[in-house]
Structure 1
Amino acid sequence: MSASRTAAGRPGGELVGHARPATGVGSEAHGPDGLGPEVTTCPGPLDGQVRGRPGGCASRRRLLAGVGATGAIVLSGCATYDSSAPAAGGGGNTGGGDGTAAGSDAASGGQVLARAADVPVGGGTILADAGVVITQPQEGTFKGFSATCTHQGCAVAEVSDGTINCPCHGSKFSVADGSVVGGPAPRSLDPRDLVVEGSDIRLA
């Protein structure tokens, strides 16, 4: 059945209607905030997308909002480093060291304690000022010990008959190794390392 209605002022047989503007690139609609037109950008139908379906086109407002969110995520991943933090390997107590200041003269000090000829073989010599006993249990072998008895801290007084003797309570120590050979002393005399240079005997 053919159409035969006519509109006023129109030639017969022509059906007139109002055309709706095409929605395409550059079409406008007011945004949800009412502040201005929301421009819809559709570069063209992509594979699997159809214009007019949700997700088929992205508005400029939505694109800008997405870019802003991405920038916030990137910035949140940045770390700020304090330049005042100490550098690795910097100063501080390392817990090491021997407690002797550089260049200081320790107990050895290079000072000659005795001459080899002053120490009898099988006996020894007490150096009260230095707090050291030097013995020569065998010819050419010299030993050094603390002159303080390990019993109650008295100073030993003599070396005789192969022992170092304390006058306070009768403790006796071997000239060979400082071990206790008599009396109440609980342990050996503390050793002292020696250096023999020619005829000079020094603390190491």
Structure 2
Amino acid sequence: MKAIPKVNTNGLYLEDTLVDDAFSGVVPFYSHIEPDVSTTVDATEPEDEPSNDSDSSLSGYIVGIPTTPGLYRPCFDLAAWSAYQSAISAAQDSYQRVLSEWQELSKEERGEMPVLESTPQPTLWIEGLTPEEIKELTKPQPQEANEVDRLGSEMVTRELEVLELRQQNEAQGAQIVGLELRLLSLENS
């Protein structure tokens, strides 16, 4: 199993879904629409029409192509996918035509067997946000201090005040000792 993206009908990423490892390509997924209960059908009358898929609506696509890293809001380019599929189909049709013509030739006229040329895959995942939306999303947000940060800041402030008071106390203590020494020297003389 592997996780692959689901997109809405516009190609915008919705969520990841788990699929078999062999899954590839793009397939639609549908959502069930509840029938309108305002119209009642008599249970004894047979339905005029057999049930069909009209009670489902296209919800988006399951995309077997990994998203491109670094996109803020990945968007799968459904038009590019459709054009890519058309190009692959056209290349295969052309190859089958050339191969059939080659096989109809005699062995002496054939030459080298034709080769199917691969169609390069375009960039299918694009950015779903505008540059303005990305700028707004990535601008720095002012952070409000939470309780722990506020208390930590107050604690640092108090510790600095205590350190300053200790230094003042030591300075005043040194002055007192100096004054006591002067007083003793005056008493001894």
Q: Do the structures match in fold with TM over 0.5?
A: no
Bigger fraction of residues in strand: 1
Bigger fraction of residues in helix: 2
Task: Find the structure with the greater CA-based Rg.
Answer: 1
* TM-score (norm. length: structure 2): 0.19
| Greater RCO, CA 8 A, separation 6+ | 2
